[in-house]
Amino acid sequence: MSRLCAPLSLGVALLCLVPTPRLAQTAPVSNTDTAPVSDIQQELLLEIDSLLERSREAKARLLRTRQHHLEVMREPNPSALDTVHVASLRIVTPPDQAELAAELFTEVMRESFPGVERHGAFDGVWFPFQWNDRLEPIVVAGTAYPTEILNTVSRGGVKEHIEGKVWTALTSHVLGTESGLSGWGLVPDFQAPEQWHPRVYRELATMPARVARSCLAQDSAACWSMLGLDEGPDPVREWYTPEERWALVARAEHWVERAAEDLFVRCTDQGSTGACDELIAFVPRVYWEVSSAHARTIMVSLALEAGGVSAWARLLETPSMPPGDALRHISGLSTEELSTRWRDLILAARPNVHAGFGLTQLATALWVLLLAALAMRSTRWRLG
């Protein structure tokens, strides 16, 4: 409406600004005489009438649009939904898709999550499912994501979406328990972990830490340490050189300057390594931790894949233990095997970019040769 009112206001303003022809000074003054309306005023009046008509039409269109929106977003009819049970999973779906939902969820659980179909991690979790060209709202009370978003995608894409939702339910359960990996920091996400490999490679390549460079140089032990697994009492000294610790304190000035100003001066101005190490204790771990939650989740995914059929069951039933022990328990592999496989996955995501002899370099070389030839033709450069 504001857009329609703007032309209307402009027209009224122009009408007021257009000067009316004044009567000649010699004309007699009469109360019955009126000034003639100019052609410009008449055109403006006609324009205002047209704007008013357009405004009424826009109001009518707005009312029709709102009514249509209310009809499309009408409350769903609970009787039009059905509940399908696949082991412990409860799936809400339109009745005509109940058989398809049961089939797809059964395939996903058998292929990707064997052995945990009846685990308590699914208690209280609802899985809305709908695979249509036109979607209708599916509302499940108490769920964070009440509307299913599947549309015209392939069957494989639908199964990947289901796998992501089941992964989220299971990892959320792990993070909320006292298992060995609950405090390690994972990512409950719909994306498949392999989609994060390039991201983690970029994180390592740009991380200003000695341990990250060693990991990229194919040092499996450094990769294991970088992930915070079996770490020693002072991981900062293991991960960073003295110069890198000094730079870390300089970047974290907001955290440390007020906490211990004298230590900050000794660290940054006098180069005291001991003062820098004391200051890092005031910096939150997330600020100086080398690995991200995505990097750690990739390791968990790798351990689950290596662990076979009962890997998820071992993960969900893992007692409280250090993360390194938990990963060895889940996968059945040694530290060296796990870290090597993780490192190979990340290095395989390295972008295939190299500095070749492209058009720019070729043009530069041609210009150099041309200028050299011209210079040799000069008397100054002639030989003999």
Confidence at residue 73, expressed as pLDDT on a 0 to 100 scale: 47
> In degrees, to the nearest 5, what angle opens at C-alpha 45 toward C-alphas 42 and 46?
90
Which residues, 6 or more positions from 224, have their beta carbon under 8 angstroms from its beta carbon? 230, 324, 335, 338, 339
- 322 and 212 fall within a common domain: yes
pLDDT tens digits for range 350-377: 877 655 555 677 788 888 888 887 777 7
Structural domain count of the chain:
3
The SS3 of residue 132 is coil
- Mean pLDDT, residues 340-355 taken together: 82
Give yes or no for a contact between 54 and 4, defined as CB atoms under 8 angstroms apart: yes
pLDDT of residue 138: 56
Q: Cβ distance 209 to 307 under 8 Å?
A: no
Beta bridge partners of 83: 92
- Please tell me whether residues 209 and 166 are part of one structural domain: no
Q: What is the mean pLDDT of residues 187-192?
A: 70
End of a domain among 149, 175, 201? Answer: 175
Long-range contacts of 155-158 (CB under 8 A, 24+ apart): 155/104, 158/104, 158/131
- Which amino acid is it at 216? L
- Assess whether 239 and 278 both reside in one domain: yes
Residues whose CB falls within 8 Å of the CB of residue 186, separated by 6 or more in sequence, listed in order: 171, 174, 175, 293, 296, 297, 300
- Amino acid of residue 358: G
Q: If pLDDT is split at 50, 70 and 90, which confidence band does 22 have?
A: very low
Q: Which residue has the tokens 């906490």?
A: 259
Q: What are the distances in angstroms from CA 331 to CA 187, 304, 310, 327, 362? A: 19, 6, 9, 6, 52
DSSP 280-306: HTTS-HHHH-SS-HHHHHHHHHHHHHH
Q: Domain check: are 322 and 237 in the same one?
A: yes
**343 touches 223 (CB < 8 A):** yes
Q: What proportion of the chain, given as a percentage, has pLDDT over 70?
A: 74
Helix axes 335-348 and 293-307, enclosed angle (nearest 10): 120
The verdict on 295 and 210 lying in the same domain is: yes
Q: Do the domain assignments include residue 180?
A: no
**Pick from 20, 104, 3: nearest CA to 93:** 104
Q: Give, in degrees to the nearest 5, the angle at Cα 141 between 139 and 143.
A: 85
Answer whether residue 329 shows pLDDT above 60.
Answer: yes
Same domain for 6 and 61?
yes
Whether residue 261 lies inside any domain: the answer is: yes
Residue 45 vs residue 138, higher pLDDT: 45
279, part of any domain: yes
Q: Do 280 and 291 touch, CB atoms closer than 8 A?
A: no
Please write the tens of the pLDDT for every residue from 264-312.
888 878 878 888 888 888 888 878 888 888 999 999 999 999 998 888 8
Q: Cβ(81)–Cβ(117) under 8 Å?
A: no
Nearest C-alpha neighbor of 129 from the set 118, 138, 120, 121: 138
Q: Which residues lie closer than 8 Å to 46 by C-beta, 6 or more apart? A: none
Closest listed residue to residue 229, CA positions, set 320, 321, 344, 347: 321
Residue 197's closest CA among 299, 306, 305?
299
Please check whether residue 369 lies inside any domain of the structure: no
Residue 331: inside a domain? yes
On whether residue 367 sits in a domain, the answer given is no
**What DSSP string runs through 324-352?**
HHHHHHHH---HHHHHHHHHHHHHHTS--
Residue 208 has pLDDT above 50, yes or no: yes
pLDDT tens-place string over residues 304-317: 999 988 888 888 88
Same domain, 342 and 214: yes
Decide: 188 and 168 in contact? Cβ < 8 Å. yes
Q: Which helix (H) or strand (E) holds 365?
A: helix 359-377
pTM listed for this prediction:
0.64
Residue appearing with tokens 């200028």:
371
Burial 11-32 (b: 16+ CB within 10 A, else e): beeeeeeeeeeeeeeeeeeeee
119 and 234 within one domain:
no
Examine the pLDDT at 79 and tell me if it is beyond 50.
Answer: yes
117 and 250 share one domain: no
Q: Is residue 132 part of a domain?
A: yes
What is the span of the domain harbouring residue 164?
78-175
pLDDT in tens, 94-111: 888 899 999 999 999 998
